[in-house]
Amino acid sequence: MRVTVSRKAHFNAAHRLYRKDWSNEQNDTIFGKCNNANFHGHNYELTVSVTGGIDPETGYVIDTKILSDLIKVHIEDAFDHKNLNLDVPEFAELNPTAENIVVVIWQKLRAHIHADKDLEVTLYETPRNFVTFKGE
């Protein structure tokens, strides 16, 4: 019997989508307004889901306080009110698309969640655009 426990969180961050090795014209063609040289911001929303067996002693799959603390320390404190391109080392050489951000979030959290539990992260870049990664 496996149960999924989910926690929502959010952060505000700026980014710019572009490749240093492409011309401005090529970046504009592919990334459009997202290539604005002065960056632009998003209110990112995320859902972190942990799936596992229920601990018979506690009745928990994972203590939501522990999960919320992990998200705060490793994601919100690292990304909130930051410029992802300039302030977050993971994106120094990695285009901070929603796809790449969700993989980085998943990797950062995976390291702190017991291996017998599954982890899935959904990241909303806008209310209508969202991406999901579960480590596959």
Instruction: Say whether 34 is catalytic.
Output: yes
Hey, which residues does 6 pair with through a beta bridge? 49
Contact positions vs Ni ion (CB under 5 A): 34
Which residue of this chain has its Cβ atom nearest to Ni ion in the complex?
34
Comparing CB distances to Ni ion, the nearer of 34 and 131 is 34
Nearer to Ni ion, 32 or 135 (CB): 32
Q: Kindly name the residue from 10, 34, 45, 112 that is annotated as catalytic.
A: 34
**Closest CB to Ni ion among residues 5, 34:** 34
SS3 102: helix
Contact by Cβ (8 Å): 35, 17: yes
Cα 128 from Cα 30, distance rounded (Å): 20
Q: Which backbone phi and psi does 134 adopt, to 5 degrees?
A: -130, 25
Name the nearest CA neighbour of 136 among 112, 113, 110.
110
Q: How far is the CB of 33 from Ni ion (least distance, A)?
A: 8
Query: CB of residue 117 vs Ni ion: minimum separation in angstroms?
Result: 31
Nearest distance in Å: CB 22, Ni ion? 17
**Active-site residue flag, 76:** no
Q: Are strands 118-124 and 82-83 parallel, antiparallel or unpaired?
A: unpaired
> Is residue 90 flagged as an active site residue?
no
Write out the catalytic residue numbers. Answer: 34, 81, 125
